[in-house]
Amino acid sequence: MNMFKPSVIVLALSTALLGCQQDTGPQKDKVTIEKNPYPSTYKPHSTSSTLITNATVLTGTGERIDDADVYIVDGKISQVGKDLAVSADTTVNAAGKWVTPGIIDNHSHLGAYPNPGVESHQDGNEMIHPNTAQVWVEHSVWPQDPGFNRAREGGITSLQILPGSANLFGGRAVTLKNVPSETMQGMKFPEAPYGLKMACGENPKRVYGGQGVAPKTRMGNMAGYREAWIEATEYKRAWEQYDKEYAAGMNPDAPHRDIKLDTLRGVLDGEILIHNHCYKAEEMAMMIDLSKEFGYHAGTFHHGIEAYKIADLLGENGNCAALWPDWWGFKMEAYDMSLENVAIVDAAKNSCAVIHSDSDTTIQRLNHEAAKVMYSANEVGFDIKEEHAIKWITYNAAKSLGIEDLTGSIASGKQADVVIWDQSPFSVYSKAEKVFIDGAKVYDRNDSKYQAVSDFMLGQR
């Protein structure tokens, strides 16, 4: 049973239909695919205005402004600069403190692999087939994961939740605003595009090869991707043909709906961004070629331990690389670690270096992760300043998620996702003091009123 008609047959049939002038009666209802069936219900929590004064501001776009003010109105950054002559509902004197855009983690499993990490909570890897592009990780997210609160205390204002890496195609990723909510939809970043998780290398071949099912090897991985994209290409053509014929006044039958191929088609249409777990230089290069073979963009490579070996290639092709500063050695593809990986990738022309966590622990300290890279790189001759390094966990992360026009920097008109740090966030002793999402204070280290507690932790004393 083929789930859709191969395009050649569709074409032939439609030509035949045209020729015979059959089925020209009143058109049946047009079949359309609802692309957003689980829409965001997130609403910014505040419309009051806030003025943060006298801070060291890192804009997230490479600029540092000392003794600067940030003016927030209606959830948006209104002005940034020295001695702003404005009045606000709330003024925060941030003398001696630092202000950055909200930190964005583009690789998290919070909610899908929540704490407590018990058997009942293993909701991140649909390990039943190498291609599970039909699953959406948002349907696994438990908003009460205490990890969301811990991450917010570390300045995380947005984060992408990804399915795990057992499969060649793990499923759809979702980007969230890090606000307390009873529902996933209440956290869902309204305008963020969907992501598709893909995985290279050891994980898929180990999971399926161990079961005697393809892929068993790296070449099997590639064959699996190619077969899927061929199928997706045919599916896309079938729907386009249907839309075209319908628009021409004919009465064609809609192709069979397939939610797995909906996701892959979304990538081919440029609506869904690829997020590819891929460690090794040669594999990333092949994934770029794969994307060219099928006409989509290879997106962001995650965990690219060897990204530094192909920094130029990543820049030329416009790929972001989401990296750890120092994880290594847990498997062969993680062996060739360089402490300067992020910095080397970053130094290439048209680069997009991102620091990610993939961890419920380090997500709380991505500023520290950026500091590790900055200082070790400067030790070997780079000259990276704080105002540049902050990009790795703000603007570049937003770019990787397709939300850089909305958040990720402190600039007029941007969503007011902002962190006030008690000192330079590049010190090991630094802590986020206040966190704002869309201008609303969502965390205050000195005010328990703004310290959310997960339902799970209530009464557990």
Partner 1 sequence: MNKFKLSILTGALLSSSAVFAQVTAITNATVHTLTKQGVLENATVLIENGKITAVNPKSFNADVTVNAQGKVLTPGLIGTMNQLGLVEVGAVSRSVDAYDKSGIEFDPSSAFNPRSSLIPYARKGGLTQNLSIPSLPWGESGVFMGLGFVADLSGEFGSVTDSQSALIVDLGAVSGDGSRAASLQAFAKKLSEQKKKLTSKKDKKDDKDPSAEEKLLTQVLKGDLPVVASASRASQLLELIKLKEQFGLNLIIDGAQDAVLVKDELAKAKVPVIISSVANLPTGFDALHAHLGNAGTLEKAGVNVILNIAGDGSHNVYQMRFNAGIAVANGMTHEGALKAMTVNVADAFGIEGGKIAKGERADVVLWTADPFEFSTRVDKIWINGEQVTTESRHDKLTERYTTDSSMPRGYTK
Query: Which residues of this chain interact with partner 1, rule CB under 8 A?
Result: 115-119, 146-147, 150, 202, 308-309, 311, 326-332, 334-340, 344, 360-361, 364-365, 368, 371-372, 374-375, 379-381, 426-431, 456-457, 460-461
Phi, psi of 437 (to 5 degrees): -125, 125
Provide the minimum distance between the beta carbon of 27 and partner 1 in the complex, in angstroms, as a whole number. Answer: 56
Nearer to partner 1, 284 or 416 (CB): 284
Nearer to partner 1, 294 or 327 (CB): 327
What are 197's strand-pairing partners? 171, 275
Nearer to partner 1, 87 or 429 (CB): 429
Nearer to partner 1, 52 or 334 (CB): 334
Torsion of CA 202, 204, 205, 207, to 10 degrees: 110
Helices assigned H by DSSP within 259-340? 259-268, 281-294, 311-317
Nearer to partner 1, 128 or 428 (CB): 428
Nearest-angstrom CA–CA distance, 327 and 159: 20
Whether the Cβ atoms of residue 355 and residue 393 lie closer than 8 Å to each other: yes
Tokens of 271: 């609506």
Provide the minimum distance between the beta carbon of 433 and partner 1 in the complex, in angstroms, as a whole number. Answer: 12
Local structure of residue 136 (DSSP, 8 states)? B
Provide the minimum distance between the beta carbon of 335 and partner 1 in the complex, in angstroms, as a whole number. Answer: 6
The DSSP H or E segment spanning 436 is strand 432-437
Provide the minimum distance between the beta carbon of 115 and partner 1 in the complex, in angstroms, as a whole number. Answer: 4
Helices assigned H by DSSP within 88-143? none
Nearest-angstrom CA–CA distance, 301 and 50: 37
Nearer to partner 1, 297 or 368 (CB): 368
Residue partners of 45: CB distance under 8 A and separation at least 6? 179, 437, 438, 440, 442
Residue 101 DSSP SS3: strand
Nearest-angstrom CA–CA distance, 442 and 434: 8
Provide the minimum distance between the beta carbon of 39 and partner 1 in the complex, in angstroms, as a whole number. Answer: 30
Provide the minimum distance between the beta carbon of 376 and partner 1 in the complex, in angstroms, as a whole number. Answer: 8
Nearest-angstrom CA–CA distance, 59 and 49: 19
Q: Residue 93: left if φ>0, alpha if ψ -120 to 50, beta else—which one? A: beta
Provide the minimum distance between the beta carbon of 362 and partner 1 in the complex, in angstroms, as a whole number. Answer: 9
Nearer to partner 1, 119 or 383 (CB): 119
Nearest-angstrom CA–CA distance, 50 and 89: 6
Provide the minimum distance between the beta carbon of 314 and partner 1 in the complex, in angstroms, as a whole number. Answer: 13
Nearer to partner 1, 2 or 461 (CB): 461
Nearest-angstrom CA–CA distance, 5 and 322: 38
Nearer to partner 1, 232 or 311 (CB): 311
Provide the minimum distance between the beta carbon of 444 and partner 1 in the complex, in angstroms, as a whole number. Answer: 17
Provide the minimum distance between the beta carbon of 110 and partner 1 in the complex, in angstroms, as a whole number. Answer: 10
Whether the Cβ atoms of residue 217 and residue 202 lie closer than 8 Å to each other: no
Nearer to partner 1, 309 or 414 (CB): 309
Query: For the chain, how big is the Rg over CA atoms in Å?
Result: 24
Nearest-angstrom CA–CA distance, 260 and 419: 38
What are 81's strand-pairing partners? 69
